[in-house]
């Protein structure tokens, strides 16, 4: 039956079967190689896929955790495990790369970003972060990565800025200029592309164009220090009045670091950082904002993490003092001095806590210890001078004020203290000189100016 059917089907399939007809063998001859080819391709693909994944697995970079901070090691190991669990996940690789980058395991991070980019070639973050890692050491390789990233996210202004700077570093000025123009097209609210374009104009000594670009940048960011400084310089080099207003003068004098274009992708790396310095930064930030509870908790945690560091204990004591918990501050600092007998800062801070609890002699001894350990500890010399004055020992106070000034010439209150102490001894000329230095160092402060005027008047009066 089945044979009959088969024969029928054959007949249906082959309406004109003839003995000479090679239909059946011919059909088999076409299909078999095709099937074999498909099979072979499938096998090869599978082999390639397996080999790729196996090799990826074999290449998961593992930095030396043995000497790393335990928090860093723990957090990094967790993301390493995520990669091992999901070796085909681009995100797992990328996130592992991010934590490695945050803790300066840069070559290991680079491997991860490359692997993440292979697994997800449509994600721009991975070639972008790889480019950032490379551009301080291998700018040509970095440029190739930036070029991949720009195809994936052509509207991301920081990318064009970084790419432009890399090109500028390679002396490819025209291409850099194009890149900065793209950055400006991508975000016209930022002055940074215009500043960079002005810089290129400066390289070409086209100060007119540079000035115009910087004026345009000033319209966007009128208080940006770099804009104000560069505009002043550009005008000077163009030979026109630099028009130094208050804002320009402040900008020139401030010394503040120039801002850079906000870069969310790069900033996210910092959030991965779990080293003690980051915990310290968070606690410091809480303290600066007045969130003393959070700051105290942060410092306590930090002390647990890094018992060998003195600074968290000093900061914790400072938070206790600010929150009116003087006994706790005293205890913390006493412990700090016992644990770190060689640390001048601990003795100095402890001296103030002791002074606050009216233990004046003990406070003075701590200050003496602080300057013994760090002879250029200006603040401690100053505090010793105050102790000496309180004890009525003006000679000692003068000596300590002088040591404070020798340790830090800009300590205006030490100059003033010296002036007042000298005045007490009737050394009016020297007193005036010292007070004059205090006035020079804090020109807007009426206190030293008032003392100086009085001392000058007294000197004039006493002049024969």
Residues 224-263 binding other proteins (CB under 8 A) are 226, 229-230, 232-233, 236-237, 252-253, 255, 257-258
Beta carbon nearer to other proteins, 123 or 259? 259
The binder of other proteins chosen from 117, 159, 186, 195 (CB under 8 A): 195
Beta carbon nearer to other proteins, 170 or 292? 170
With binding defined as CB under 8 A, does residue 441 bind other proteins? yes
Min CB(287)–other proteins separation in Å: 17
Min CB(290)–other proteins separation in Å: 23
The binder of other proteins chosen from 52, 56, 71, 359 (CB under 8 A): 71
The binder of other proteins chosen from 158, 389, 415, 421 (CB under 8 A): 415
Helix axes 344-356, 311-322, angle to 10 degrees: 20
The binder of other proteins chosen from 335, 393, 408, 445 (CB under 8 A): 408
Which residue stretch of 11-19, 145-153, 213-221, 409-417 sits at the interface with other proteins (rule: CB under 8 A)? 409-417
37-43-45-49 Cα dihedral, nearest 10 degrees = 180
Which residue stretch of 116-124, 177-185, 374-382, 456-464 sits at the interface with other proteins (rule: CB under 8 A)? 374-382
Beta carbon nearer to other proteins, 63 or 158? 63
Beta carbon nearer to other proteins, 363 or 435? 435
With binding defined as CB under 8 A, does residue 60 bind other proteins? no
SS (H, E, C) the chain: CHHHHHHHHHHHHCCCCCCCCCHHHHHHHHHHHHHHHHHHHHHHHHHHHHHHHHHHHHCCCCCCCCCCCHHHHHHHHHHHHHHHHCCCCHHHHHHHHHHHHHCCCHHHHHHHHHHHHHHCCCCCHHHHHHHHHHCCCCHHHHHHHHHHHHHHCCCCHHHHHHHHHHHHHCCCHHHHHHHHHHHHHHCCCCCHHHHHHHHHHHHCCCHHHHHHHHHHHHHHCCCCHHHHHHHHHHHHHHCCCCCCCHHHHHHHHHCCCCCCCCCHHHHHHHHCCCCHHHHHHHHHHHHHCCCHHHHHHHHHHHHHHCCCCCHHHHHHHHHHHHCCCHHHHHHHHHHHHHHCCCCHHHHHHHHHHHHHCCCHHHHHHHHHHHHHHCCCCHHHHHHHHHHHHHCCCHHHHHHHHHHHHHHCCCCHHHHHHHHHHHHHCCCHHHHHHHHHHHHHHCCCCHHHHHHHHHHHHHHHHHCC
Min CB(310)–other proteins separation in Å: 7
Beta carbon nearer to other proteins, 83 or 275? 275
Beta carbon nearer to other proteins, 373 or 458? 373
Min CB(142)–other proteins separation in Å: 11
Min CB(37)–other proteins separation in Å: 44
Min CB(96)–other proteins separation in Å: 14
The binder of other proteins chosen from 93, 96, 105, 180 (CB under 8 A): 105
- Distance, CA of 18 to CA of 403 (rounded, Å): 119
Min CB(321)–other proteins separation in Å: 20
Min CB(84)–other proteins separation in Å: 20
With binding defined as CB under 8 A, does residue 21 bind other proteins? no
| Residue 299 near residue 293, CB atoms below 8 Å | no
Beta carbon nearer to other proteins, 152 or 237? 237
Binding residues for other proteins (CB under 8 A):
63, 67-72, 102-105, 107, 136-137, 139, 165, 168-171, 195, 199, 202-203, 205, 226, 229-230, 232-233, 236-237, 252-253, 255, 257-258, 275-277, 306, 308-310, 340, 342-345, 373-376, 402-403, 406-410, 415, 437, 440-441
């Amino acid at each position: 039956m089945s044979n009959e059917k088969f024969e029928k089907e054959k007949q249906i399939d082959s309406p004109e079967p003839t003995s000479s007809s090679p239909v059946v063998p011919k059909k088999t001859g076409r299909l078999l190689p095709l099937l074999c080819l498909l099979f072979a391709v499938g096998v090869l693909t599978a082999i390639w896929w397996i080999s790729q994944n196996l090799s990826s697995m074999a290449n998961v970079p593992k930095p030396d955790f043995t000497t790393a901070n335990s928090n860093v090691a723990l957090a990094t190991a967790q993301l390493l495990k995520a990669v091992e669990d999901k070796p085909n996940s681009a995100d797992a690789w990328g996130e592992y790369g991010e934590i490695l980058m945050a803790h300066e395991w840069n070559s290991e991070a680079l491997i991860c970003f490359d692997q993440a980019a292979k697994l997800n070639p449509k994600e721009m973050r991975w070639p972008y972060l790889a480019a950032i890692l490379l551009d301080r050491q291998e700018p040509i390789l970095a440029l190739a990565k930036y070029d991949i990233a720009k195809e994936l996210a052509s509207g991301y202004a920081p990318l064009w800025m970084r790419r432009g700077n890399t090109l500028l570093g390679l002396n490819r000025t025209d291409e850099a200029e194009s890149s900065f123009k793209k950055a400006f097209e991508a975000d016209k609210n930022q002055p940074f592309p215009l500043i960079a374009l002005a810089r290129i104009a400066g390289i070409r000594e086209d100060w007119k164009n540079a000035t115009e670009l910087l004026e345009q940048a000033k319209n966007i960011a009128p208080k940006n220090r770099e804009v104000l400084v560069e505009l002043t310089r550009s005008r000077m080099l163009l030979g026109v009045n630099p028009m130094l207003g208050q804002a320009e003068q402040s900008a020139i004098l401030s010394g503040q670091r120039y801002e850079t274009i906000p870069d969310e992708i790069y900033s996210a790396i910092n959030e991965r950082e779990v080293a003690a310095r980051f915990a310290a930064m968070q606690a410091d930030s809480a303290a600066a904002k007045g969130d003393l509870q959070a700051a105290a908790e942060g410092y306590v945690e930090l002390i647990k993490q890094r018992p060998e560091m003195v600074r968290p204990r000093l900061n914790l004591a400072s938070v206790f003092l600010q929150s009116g918990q003087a006994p706790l501050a005293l205890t913390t600092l006493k412990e700090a001095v016992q644990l770190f007998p060689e640390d001048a800062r601990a003795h100095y801070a402890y001296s103030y806590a002791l002074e606050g609890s009216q233990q004046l002699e003990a406070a003075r001894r701590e200050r003496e210890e602080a300057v013994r350990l760090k002879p250029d500890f200006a603040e401690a010399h100053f505090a010793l001078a105050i102790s000496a004055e309180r004890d009525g020992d003006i000679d000692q106070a003068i000596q300590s004020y002088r040591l404070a000034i020798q340790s830090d010439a800009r300590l205006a209150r030490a100059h003033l203290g010296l002036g007042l102490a000298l005045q007490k001894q009737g050394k009016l000329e020297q007193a005036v000189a010292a007070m004059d230095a205090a006035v020079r160092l804090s020109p807007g402060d009426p206190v030293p100016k008032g003392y100086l005027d009085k001392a000058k008047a007294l000197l004039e009066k006493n002049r024969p």
